[in-house]
Each structure stands twice: as structure tokens, then as C-alpha cells.
Amino acid sequence: MERHFDQELDLLNKEILKMGVLAEDAIFKSIEALKNRDKKIAETVIGDDVKIDNLELEIDEKCVDLIARYQPVAKDLRFITTGMKINAELERIADIAVDIAQRVLELLDKPLLKPLVDIPKLTTIAQKMVKDAVDAFIRGDCDLAKLVLKTEPEADNLRDLIQSELVNDYMSKDGNSVPRAVQLFLITRFLERACDHATNIAEDVIYMVRAEIVKHHPEKL
């Protein structure tokens, strides 16, 4: 019985890793669509969201089934319940990619407002935070989870820089630029939200491994 339980936990691990890869890839593709002004890629991100939603439901059902059949306690119970929470965070990250792709479609028939430099940088940070957060869960690695938490201020600062530039250098100086600037403003906010979800995952990992709550308690890091 215990061997079968361990095998099913390992399968759950792999499914959550798959979910993480899909969410990270969706974020990447949404910004590639922006950089390349590629309608097909943007529409692919939107269309693929159904697969991610279905996988989220499958993982949730798996977690509930494991709890019902094996009635795990302590570390195993924390692993499964954390898996459910992380699953939801990853689905929200994929939804953010859809939000970005929709903004891209709004921009396709308009001239590019400015060279895209900082938004791709923020995307790279978001991707790495998501990947590291999921890897921290898979490996039960608190040090990697803490690294994710320590990266969040960098994402916040870059978001503030981009949004300040859009407001001060474009929106306030040229009313005609406002519709395009607003879309870029929203994309930046969406990327920072993806980083927030990665932070939530990292906090959940620390709780899973150490039964220690660090959310709202940065001094514990």
C-alpha cells in the first residue's frame, strides 16, 4: 500500500511539473507574440488555455482522491495540499499569459510605441521565478524557494520603471500614444502578477518542507 502511495505521489509531482512547464511556456509565447507582432502565436496562447484548465482539474481531482484513499498525515498531507495550491497558482499564471496575448491582439494594427527592452527583461525574470518555484516544489528545496522570494523586489522595481516611463515619457506628453501605452502598462502589470504567483508558490514550498509560515513574515527568511 505504501509503495503504491509513493508511486502516486511521484506521478503527482510529474503532473505539477508539466503544469509548470506549460504555464512558463505560455508566458514566454505571449511576449514572443508581442515582440514579433505575431497574431498566430497570440491566438495559440489563448487557444491552449483550455488544455491547461483541463490539466488543473485533473490534478485537483488526483489530490482529492489521494487524500480520500490514503488519509495522509504530516509531511505527505502538506505535500498534497501544497500541490493543490501550487496547481491553482500555475493556472492563474497561464490565465495571465492569455491576458497578455489579448493585449497583443489589440496592438497588432498599431505602430509600436517604443522599442521593447525592459518588458522582455521582466518576462525573463518572471519565467525564471516560475521555473525556480516549481523546481523548489519538485525537489523540496527551501533555499531555491527563498531565492525566488528574494527576486521579487527586482521584478517590482522593473515594473515601476517601465510604468513610470510609459506615463511620464509617453502618456503625459502625447495623448495619441495613450491607447498603446495603456496596453503596455497592463502587460507590465500582468508580468509582475505572474511573479507574485511564483512568490506564493515559493512561500507554500517553505511551509510544505518546514511547516513554517513565511507569508507576511519576511523576517523569517
pLDDT higher at 98 or 114: 98
Lowest mean pLDDT among 7-11, 200-204, 207-211: 207-211
155 in Cβ contact with 129 (< 8 Å): yes
Q: With pLDDT > 70 as the criterion, what percentage of the chain qualifies? A: 97
Q: Is 211 left (phi over 0), alpha (psi -120 to 50) or beta?
A: left
Evaluate if residue 220 carries a pLDDT over 80. Answer: no
What range does the domain containing 33 cover? Answer: 4-220
pLDDT digits (tens, 9 = 90+) for 40-62: 999 999 999 999 999 999 999 99
pLDDT digits (tens, 9 = 90+) for 131-186: 999 999 999 999 999 999 999 999 999 999 999 999 999 999 998 999 999 999 99
Enter the pTM of the model.
0.93
How far is the C-alpha of 108 from the C-alpha of 152, rounded, in Å?
A: 30
CATH number at residue 36: 1.20.58.220
Q: Give the highest mean pLDDT range of 54-63, 66-75, 104-113.
A: 54-63
Reading the block at residue 71, the C-alpha cell is 488519509
Domain count of the fold of the chain: 1
pLDDT band, very low/low/confident/very high, at 217 (cuts 50, 70, 90): low
pLDDT of residue 191: 98
Lowest mean pLDDT among 7-11, 142-146, 214-218: 214-218
The whole-number average pLDDT for the span 200-205 is 96
Evaluate if residue 204 carries a pLDDT over 90. Answer: yes
Chain Cα centroid distance, residue 144? 16
The whole-number average pLDDT for the span 66-80 is 93
13: which residues sit within 8 A by CB, 6+ positions away? 83, 138
pLDDT of residue 68: 95
pLDDT of residue 129: 98
